Chains A and B, each alone.
Chain A
């Protein structure tokens, strides 16, 4: 799509050795905060369970267990999950995001260690203030730990549904269409399940003067043009 101005987006593009550009969606502060909140609840729950276990064990052994668990939970909970669950702690998994290296490979151990040890810096002075400030100013939503470790937090791609098989009769376009217009027809045809009928009608009415049809027939014809452009005959 040609455009005079570069539009702002939260994509991160990387050219891989095969010569093609890969694109991922970066996760912003809101999603990451929600994931963190979930992780915090889970950690607190584990912590409470361990406290009960320690009280049951009693005495110094109980203290020993509690101190060790507290230490491990504080520093190593995220590292553990990032290692065994492909960069996703349970909170991140629930929000559909993951930690990756900035060359888009799965996060390595030393990167995970650096980014999580530096939480001590990001969390200052209170509630990740520095983390948010740095994330806001960073090009790729990286906090201090991410910058030092060379990691990114990205949305993990959802399963994309193959919608090329359209059950609609192909119709050749009445006029020659530019590339941008062709894409508009094709995308309209492929995304028919994602719009309400009212919205589809509203969009279709834009092209009414061109196609000289009304109502549902108009929608059907636009879909038909889309299918034809995709190659159905």
Chain B
């Protein structure tokens, strides 16, 4: 069959397909979409085989590409997935990658505790890590002689701090994650660096006697924030390891497979950081809550987070 006759014969089908692609998802004339799509795929194969003109092949190729997107590209429902993710998806993916999580937590907390102890006992070690201005600013934030005990903040300051914590902490977690693609080195660097920084600050606060202001402040949101940074680092390490030891895959394919789990860890980590930002902005600095309550709540959150990651979702089969 020559090209002109071919076009005459099938022009109606092609126009129908174009109309269906223009129409939205809900139109009832999509009833014939599957068979039309299959027919046009067949036409494309014929057109290529019979060496019809480039413009015809391009036109049919375009129809099939757009039809292919519609046919196979329907996005899964987001709402039900969210609850499943919280209920068991997230803890399961954390446990599935426990090697990376353990290494990341180690790289974050061990240097942290080390420098906590060191800065607590050594008087000037903190100045090797931060400049005088930074340390002074830090100290003035938590000085117990600041007006009333603790810090009194207006609610709009709380709002600003909420935005700041989101901008700062989630940004850091994304950096920690993304830099893991450089064979994990970037993630390790950020984890160790942040761990040292936080540990040193905490140790210094204890050393100069500000523990009555500093520790109640951080214990509330620390469970969520510190764990989340560790998890972001774990996700980055997973990416890096995929490049170092791809197993049976090519390095590119290995990276892609690893990224599926890694991004799920990031979802959970970001949610935890949102919670942490909320607690940090609206609860941690409140001076009306007694210190003992803050410690109690803080320790409860730690138990909650650890229990959630270790025990929740075990009875369900992995997705």
Chains A and B are bound partners:
yes
In the complex the two chains form, is A71's CB within 8 Å of B171's CB?
A: yes
The answer, yes or no, to whether B234 is at the interface (CB within 8 Å) is: no
In the complex the two chains form, is A117's CB within 8 Å of B178's CB?
A: yes
In the complex the two chains form, is B68's CB within 8 Å of A160's CB?
A: no
The answer, yes or no, to whether B136 is at the interface (CB within 8 Å) is: no
Interface hit among B41-49, B91-99, B123-131 = B41-49
The answer, yes or no, to whether B28 is at the interface (CB within 8 Å) is: no
In the complex the two chains form, is B256's CB within 8 Å of A67's CB?
A: no
In the complex the two chains form, is A64's CB within 8 Å of B162's CB?
A: yes
Listed in ascending order, the chain A residues whose CB lies under 8 Å from chain B are 16, 18-24, 59-61, 63-68, 70-71, 74-75, 100-101, 103-106, 108-110, 113-114, 117-121, 124, 144, 147-150, 157, 160-164, 179, 182-183, 186-187, 190, 229-232
Q: Using a Cβ cutoff of 8 Å, how many contacts connect chains A and B?
A: 158
- For residue A200, give the distance in angstroms from its CB to the closest CB of chain B: 17
* Contact among A64, A104, A124, A230 with B53 in the assembled complex (CB-CB below 8 Å): A230
Report B-chain residues with C-beta under 8 Å of the C-beta of A103: 72
Report A-chain residues with C-beta under 8 Å of the C-beta of B75: 106, 108-109
Q: Assuming the A-B contacts A16-B64, A229-B2, A231-B4, are A121 and B182 also in contact, with contact meaning beta carbons closer than 8 angstroms in the complex?
A: yes
- For residue A129, give the distance in angstroms from its CB to the closest CB of chain B: 13
Give bound CA distance, A36 to B252, whole Å.
Answer: 24
Interface size on B, residues (CB 8 A): 61
* Interface membership of chain B positions 269-285, coded 1 if the CB is closer than 8 angstroms to chain A and 0 otherwise: 00000000000000000
The answer, yes or no, to whether B314 is at the interface (CB within 8 Å) is: no
Seed contacts A22-B65, A64-B162, A71-B170; 10 additional CB < 8 Å A-B pairs: A16-B64, A60-B157, A118-B181, A121-B182, A121-B186, A124-B179, A149-B259, A160-B62, A182-B51, A187-B54
Give bound CA distance, A24 to B54, whole Å.
Answer: 14
Nearest 7 Cβ contacts at the A-B interface: A231-B2, A231-B4, A105-B73, A120-B178, A18-B41, A67-B163, A60-B160
- For residue A14, give the distance in angstroms from its CB to the closest CB of chain B: 9
Listed in ascending order, the chain B residues whose CB lies under 8 Å from chain A are 2-7, 37-38, 41-42, 44-45, 48, 51, 53-56, 58-59, 61-62, 64-65, 68-69, 72-73, 75, 78, 154, 156-157, 159-160, 162-164, 166-167, 170-171, 174-175, 177-179, 181-182, 186, 239, 252, 255-256, 258-260, 262-264, 266
* Contact among A20, A66, A67, A160 with B59 in the assembled complex (CB-CB below 8 Å): A160
* Contact among A19, A160, A179 with B45 in the assembled complex (CB-CB below 8 Å): A19
* Contact among B164, B179, B256 with A147 in the assembled complex (CB-CB below 8 Å): B256
Q: Assuming the A-B contacts A106-B69, A163-B55, are A18 and B178 also in contact, with contact meaning beta carbons closer than 8 angstroms in the complex?
A: no
Q: Which residue of A lies closest to B1 (CB)?
A: A231
In the complex the two chains form, is A68's CB within 8 Å of B166's CB?
A: yes
- For residue A62, give the distance in angstroms from its CB to the closest CB of chain B: 8
